[in-house]
Structure 1
Amino acid sequence: MSHFDTVAVIDWSGGSDTGPRPRKDAIWMGVTRDGLDKAPIYIRNRMEAEAVIAGLMEQELEAGRRLFVGYDFPFGFPVGFAEGLTGRAGPFAVWDWLEERIEDSPRANNRFDVAAAINARFPGIGPFWFNGLKRDIPGLPRKDSRAGHGLPERRVAEQRTPGAFTCWQLGGAGAVGGQILTGLPVLNRLRRRLAPHVAVWPFEPLETPVAFVEIWPGLINKVVKQAEAAGGIRDAHQVRLLARAVAGLHPDDRDAMLTIEAPEEGWIMGLDHEDKLNRAAGETLKPPPLRDDCFALPAGVDWTPVDEALDLLRSRLQPVVGTTRRVLGEARGRVLAEAVVAKRANPPQANTAVDGYGFAHASLGEGDQVLPLVEGRSAAGKPFPGDVPEGSAVRVLTGAALPQGVDTVILQEDVRVGDGEIAFRGGLKARANTRKAGEDVAEGDTILTPGRVLTPADMALCAAVGIAEVVTYEPLTVAVISTGDELVEPGGEAGEGQIFDANRPMLTGLVEEFGYRALDLGRVPDSRDALRAALDRGAAEADVILTSGGASSGDEDHVSALLNEAGAMAEWRIALKPGRPLALGVWGGTPVFGLPGNPVAAMVCTLVFARPAMALMAGQGWVAPQGFDVPAGFSKSKKPGRREYLRARMRDGHAEVFKSEGSGRISGLSWAEGLVELPDGAAEIGPGDTVRYIPFGSFR
C-alpha cells in the first residue's frame, strides 16, 4: 500500500500572488524522487500551483512512478459540518460545494463571502470568523465572537495535535480556514482531472498510482528549526524535509501511519508517530561517496538533462526585436518578419532554354524534317514581333519569349541551315528545350517565409519576381560580460594568479558570426554591486545578456547569486560536459545566459544553448544544428549521466577528436572544426563506430 517512488509535499497559502521572488507565506513544494531530494520549488500563486501539481502528476503517471502528494491543510471539517452544509455526511460533498462557489485569481478571491454564506446556513454566529476585508460582510465577525453555531471547535485530529489551529479561522496567524476554502476546490479539480488514478486518504483506499494525503509540517518542527538556523526560508525547509521524511520511512511505519479510520473528518498523517517522522527527516551529516568527479553535484541534487533545459528555453522565449521595411539591397543577412509573395511569375512567359529554332510540334511529319525559316528572330528582351505560321520555324535565342505559333525548340547544334530553311532529324519531343510560364514561381506564390535569414540567392529570387522591399526583424543586440578579479585585458600586465580574458573576444566574435550586434560591456570584478550595474546596463541596452564566470555556487559566483536573489533563476546544473555551471535566468526582463568561465565550456554552452535561444529571440525560430552520422576515428569509454561534446574535425572520412578532453585546453577550440556529440547514457566507442558530428558551421 505505502510504496511511493516520488513524494511531493505542498505548503499551501490562501493569500494573494507573492511575486517572482521566492519568499515566505507563498506556496512551496518539496519533492523527493527515488530517495533523492529536489530543490524546493517556489510557486507564487494558486493558479500556478494547480498547473505545477497537475504537470507533476501527469509526468509521474507517464513514467510509471507512484506518487504521494501531501497537503498541509485539512481535507475535512469537524463532524456534522458536511451534512449541515450539503445534506450529506461525505467530505467530497463539501469539496464539490466549495468548487462551485469559490472564485479565485492571483490577486483576490471570495473566500470571506463564501464563509459568510456558509455561516448563514447554521444557527447562531459562526462557525467561520475573521473578516480580512475593509468592507463589512454580514454574518462574518471580524473577531472571535461566535456562539450557538452547534459545531465542534476542532476535529479529533486537531484535538490531539499540540499547536494545531482551528479550521474556522480565516485570517491572521494560523489562518487554516482560508487555506481550506481555497485549497479544496483545487484538489477537487485535480482529483477529477486524473480520475480514476487518484485516491484521497483516508476517505478512499490507496490503490491508485497517485495519493492525496493530509500532512502537517509542524510534526517535524524540531528538525525544521535546525535547518532554519542555517538560513533560508522556513517554508522551503519544511516541504523539503517533510518530503524526505515520508519517502524515508520504513514501509511498516508508513503503513501504520496510513491505517486510519476517519471517514468524515479526515486525519493528519504521522500524528502520534512524530518520532519516526523526525528521524526520517533528520539532516544527519554523512560524507558523500568518493566519486573523483569534478563535475559531481552535492549529494541528493539532480542534473537537468540537456533536452529538458532546451525545452525550457524554447517554451519560454519569443521574438524580442522590432521590425522594419528594407530595400532589397540592404536586407542580406536579416531575418524575414513577413512572408514574401511573388508579384510576377518566373519566368513571366514561356521561353526558350537554348539557342536554336522554334516551331509548332504538331506541324512536323514523319522522319527527317525540312522547315522554311521566317525572317527575324526572338531574343531575350526583344521578342519576335509576329506569329510563326504552322509548318515554319523561327530563330530563337536562350531566354527569349516563345513567339505565337511556337511550342518546341531544337538545339542549333542539331540543325543544318540552308537558304531560307532548316533541316533536322525526326524524333524530337513536344515542348523540348522550352520553359513554361511560371514553372519556377507562379504569381501570388509565397516564395520566402518568416524566420528565414536572407541570402544572396534569396535576393536574386525576390528580384526575379518583382520584389523591391522586404520586412525584416532588427538585429538582436547581445551584451557580453566577463566576470572575475583574475581577468586582465589581453596585452596588459598579468599579475600572479591572473589570466588574460579569452572569453570576451570569443563571445563577441560568435555573436557577430550569428549575425547579431555585440555590445561589449567589458570585464567586471568579483563585486555584486559592479555586476548588478553591468546587468542593469545590459538589460537596458541589449536584448539578451551573455556572462562568463560566476555561474556556479561558490563564494565568488555572483551571477547565479544575483539571479537567485532576484527570483529570476530558471535552471542550472545542466547535465553537460563541458559546461557544469550554466545559469539560465532573467534580469530586468532580459534573458541572461550565465556561461562557465572556462572558454571551452563557455563556447560549447553558447553553441548548444544560447545559439538556438538567440535565433528564436531574433525572429528566426528555434534552430537546431544539423548533425551528421560519421564513422569514429577514436576510442572512448563514456560514463552515463551527462551529454558530452568533444572537440573534433573530419579527416579521411572519419571524425577525430582533440588529444585531450581537458576543458582548459583552449588550443583545442582552434584545432577543431566541429563537435562530436555523445548521448546522455553510457557508451563504448571504437574506431569505425557511428558517432554524430556537428560542424561549427551548423550552429551559424
Structure 2
Amino acid sequence: MTSFDSFAMVDWSGGNDTGPRPRKDAIWACVVRKGRAEEPIYLRNRKIAEQWLHNLIADEIASGRRLFLGFDFPFGYPKGFAHALTGSDDPLRLWEWFEERIEDTPKANNRFDLAGEINRRFSCRGPFWFNGLQRDIDGLPKNKSDYHNPFPDRRSVELNPEAKGSFTCWQMGGTGAVGGQIMTGLPVLARLRRVFAGKVSVWPFEALDTPVAFVEIWPSLTLGAGPEGRIKDAWQVEQVAMSLAGMPPEELAGHLNVTAAEEGWILGVSQHKPDIAPPPLRNDCFALPAGVNWTPVDDALALLRQRLTVVTATEMVALPKATGRILAEDIIAKRSNPPQPNTAVDGYGFAGAAPEGPQVMPLHPGRAAAGIPFDGLVPEGHALRVLTGAALPAGVDTVILEEDVTVQDNHIAFHGPLKQGANTRRAGEDVTEGDLVLPAGRRLTPADLALLSATGIAKVLVRKTLRVAVLSTGDELVEPGKSAGPGQIFDANRPMLLSLIDRLGFQPVDMGRVSDDREDLRARLNSAAKQADVILTSGGASAGDEDHVSALLREAGAMQEWRIALKPGRPLALGLWDGTPVFGLPGNPVAAMVCTLIFARPALGLMAGEGWQDPQGFDLPAAFEKRKKPGRREYLRARVRDGRAEVFASEGSGRISGLSWAEGLVEIEDGARHIKPGDMVRFIPYGSFGL
C-alpha cells in the first residue's frame, strides 16, 4: 500500500534544548494533509518532539488518514552491528536495545557514554568516535587517531554515488554527524512503535500495510540552503513533505521498492533503478516519455500538472492585508452569519402569522435596533418597533414593513395575510459556525474578506507570494529609450512579462537582460535562482550556436526541449537551475506571451499553491474565415465585437501590435478546420488567465 493521505517530514537533532526562539540545528517538522502544507513546526527538544509525534500519529489514525512519516537519520547500522549487540540481525531489536540504555532529558543525554561502553566491548578503538564532552570517556576517542572499526564504515546505501555527502553513523559529533541523532532518535521511534502497536510499519524492514509508515529520508542529499531569510532545516522539511504529497502513488511505489533487510535505506537513492532520483524536483522532471517528439498541447499541460508541486512557504497575515493572497488551509467559520435571527427591514415585529384581513395590535414600549437589542419579552399579541439588522427580541419571529402599517394610540394596524417569519433572517442562513467558508488554494478577493470578517476570521494562513524572475537574453536587445544600432531591437519581452507576472498576482523579479555570453548568463541564472522560485527566460532557448539558455541547462543535466504542436511558438525549453524551475520562452514576443499564458500561467499557479487553473473559454460565432491544416493547435489574437469573435488581420508572429489590439485568444483545435463566418469558435478572454 503506497497511497497516503498525510505526509510529514522531521529533521532530528541529538543536541540539547535550544530554547523558545526558533533556530537552526534544532528539531523541525512539517505536515502536508491532502496536498495542503502547514507551517513548519519548531520543536525545541526531544521530549516535546516525541509528544508532538504521538499526537500527530493519534490524530491521523483517529481521522482515518494514512500517514507517511519521514526522519532524517539512519534506521539501521552497517552489517553485523545489530547481531553483535543483540544476538539478532533484526534492526528493530537494536532499536529496543538503545531504548533500554539511552537516558535523555532536554538538557543532557548519555549518548557519548553509551558509545564508549559499546567501544569497550570491542577494542576500545571503535566503532564509534568523537567525544563531544569536556571530560574524557573511556573507550571513546576525541578523533580518529588510533581508530579501528570492526564493522564496515558505511552502509551499502551510503556507498551509492547518489548518497554522496552522507555521514557515517559512527561519528558521534561534529558538523553533519548523525551518530548522536541515531542514538537519541531510535529510542523515540521504538516507543512510538510500542504505543501504536500494529499501527506502524518501518520501511524497508516491514511491509507498509499499516496506517502509519516510518521512512528514512535525508533532505540534505538533494536540497541546499533555503531561500534568504528562512531557516534551512525548516525549509527542507517543508519542501520534502510537499514533494512527497505531490508525487503520484506509482512513482512513490518505485522509490519504496528496495530490499535492505538489516541496514536500512535512504528513500530516493536508487537501488535497482538508476533513473530514480530523490525529491523534491528531479533533474528529469520535465522528461518526455521515450519515443515522443512532437507533444500535443493537452499532453504538455498534463505533464506539467503531474510533475510540478507547490514550492511556496506559508505565513499568517492580518485580514486587511490578505487581498490577492492564496489560502494555505481551509477556513472554518468561527461565527454564524447572521449570528442570531434578525430583521431584514424597518417595521414592527410580533409572533406568528397574521391571517387575512385587517389586523390591530397594541404596541409594546421600546424598540430593537442593530447593535442595540431589546431587553425583554414581547407579550403575545403585541408588536414592537424594530429596525433593519436588529436581533429579533424574545417573542418576535415575524416583521411587517413600516410602509404597510398605520400607527395610532399605541397600536398598529395593517392588512393580512402575512406568513410567519416574513421579513426576517434566520441565524446562520448564510453561513453556520463550523462550516467551510473558503477552501485552501483560493486567491482572496475583496468579497472574500467581507465573508471572512463576518464569520469571525481576523487572520489567515496564506502562501508567500511566488517569486518569478524574468530575464531577457540576446546581443540584439537594447533598453527602450536607448540608441539602437543596426541589427538591434528594443527589449519588448521583459516589460511585457514583468507586467504580466504582476497582474497575475505573483511577485516579479527583474533580472534585466544579458548578452550572448555564456558565463554572464550563468552568473545571472545563479543570481535568479537565489532570488526567485521560478525563472522565465526569453530567447536563447532553441538549439542554435547562440542559444545559451538551453546549452547551460543541458550542461547542468536538467534540460528538456518540448517540441509542442503549437502555433505561434517554437520549442519550449524546460529545466532546473540549482533546483529552480526554468521556463525558456521563445524570443518572439507574440510566441512568448502565448506560451506564458497557455503553459507558464497554470504551472505558476500550481507552484504558488492555488492549484491548476484552466482558463474559462466561451463558444462564440466567428466573424472571420480561416482554413487550418491538421497537426498543431493554433491561438489567434482576437477580440469580441457585437457578440462575434474577430481575429487580427495578420497571423505573423512578429506583429506585436496584434497583442495590444486583442482582448484574448481564439483557440483552434489540433485537427483540420475550415472556419466560416458564423461557425462557433472558442474565445478565451485575457481576463480568464487573470489579466
State the Cα distance separating 1:355 from its structure 2 match.
Answer: 0.9
State the Cα distance separating 1:367 from its structure 2 match.
Answer: 2.7
In 1, Cα distance between equivalents of 2:505 and 2:411 = 59
State the Cα distance separating 1:302 from its structure 2 match.
Answer: 3.3
Say whether residues 1:317 and 2:308 are aligned partners. Answer: yes
Give aligned pairs, total: 411
State the Cα distance separating 1:365 from its structure 2 match.
Answer: 4.7
Give the structure 1 partner of residue 592 of structure 2: 602
Give the structure 2 partner of residue 117 of structure 1: none
- Contact 1:640/1:683 (<8 A) preserved: yes
Say whether residues 1:384 and 2:374 are aligned partners. Answer: yes
Q: Deviations over 1:389-429 (max 9, x none)?
A: 11111111111111111111111111122221111111211
Unpaired segments of 5 or more residues in structure 1?
Answer: 1-103, 110-188, 191-242, 244-299
Alignment map for 1:491-640 (pairs within 5 Å): 491-640=481-630
Alignment map for 1:63-212 (pairs within 5 Å): none
Q: 1:418 to 1:663 in 2, by over 3 A?
A: same
Q: Which amino acid aligns with 2:461?
A: V
Give the structure 2 partner of residue 452 of structure 1: 442
1:417 to 407, 417, 420: 407
Give the structure 2 partner of residue 351 of structure 1: 342
1:360 to 346, 351, 356: 351
- Contact 1:346/1:439 (<8 A) preserved: yes
Q: Percent identity?
A: 70
Give the structure 1 partner of residue 385 of structure 2: 395
Q: Which amino acid aligns with 2:323?
A: R
Q: Which amino acid aligns with 2:338?
A: P
CA RMSD after TM alignment? 2.3
Give the structure 2 partner of residue 481 of structure 1: 471
In 2, Cα distance between equivalents of 1:557 and 1:106 = 38
Give the structure 1 partner of residue 9 of structure 2: none
- Contact 1:416/1:424 (<8 A) preserved: yes
Give the structure 1 partner of residue 119 of structure 2: none
Give the structure 2 partner of residue 641 of structure 1: 631
- Contact 1:309/1:571 (<8 A) preserved: no
- Contact 2:356/2:415 (<8 A) preserved: no
Secondary structure in 1 aligned to 2:469?
A: strand
Q: 1:506 to 1:365 in 2, by over 3 A?
A: closer
- Contact 2:355/2:418 (<8 A) preserved: no
- Contact 1:389/1:405 (<8 A) preserved: yes
Q: Which amino acid aligns with 1:306?
A: V
- Contact 1:503/1:599 (<8 A) preserved: yes
Q: Which amino acid aligns with 2:341?
A: A
State the Cα distance separating 1:301 from its structure 2 match.
Answer: 8.2
1:442 to 432, 454, 468: 432
Q: 1:420 to 1:330 in 2, by over 3 A?
A: same
Secondary structure in 2 aligned to 1:426?
A: strand
State the Cα distance separating 1:385 from its structure 2 match.
Answer: 1.5
Secondary structure in 2 aligned to 1:368?
A: strand
In 1, Cα distance between equivalents of 2:333 and 2:467 = 31
TM-score with structure 2 setting the length? 0.58
The structure with more radius of gyration = 1
State the Cα distance separating 1:564 from its structure 2 match.
Answer: 2.1
Give the structure 1 partner of residue 661 of structure 2: 671
State the Cα distance separating 1:563 from its structure 2 match.
Answer: 1.7
In 2, Cα distance between equivalents of 1:412 and 1:599 = 63
Unpaired segments of 5 or more residues in structure 2?
Answer: 1-155, 162-252, 255-289
State the Cα distance separating 1:642 from its structure 2 match.
Answer: 0.9
In 1, Cα distance between equivalents of 2:456 and 2:355 = 42
TM-score with structure 1 setting the length? 0.57
State the Cα distance separating 1:108 from its structure 2 match.
Answer: 6.5
- Contact 2:585/2:592 (<8 A) preserved: yes
Give the structure 2 partner of residue 330 of structure 1: 321
Q: Which amino acid aligns with 1:323?
A: T
Give the structure 1 partner of residue 452 of structure 2: 462
Secondary structure in 2 aligned to 1:531?
A: helix
In 2, Cα distance between equivalents of 1:686 and 1:436 = 55
Alignment map for 1:238-277 (pairs within 5 Å): none
Give the structure 1 partner of residue 61 of structure 2: none
State the Cα distance separating 1:462 from its structure 2 match.
Answer: 1.1
- Contact 1:476/1:618 (<8 A) preserved: yes
State the Cα distance separating 1:571 from its structure 2 match.
Answer: 4.2
Say whether residues 1:659 and 2:658 are aligned partners. Answer: no
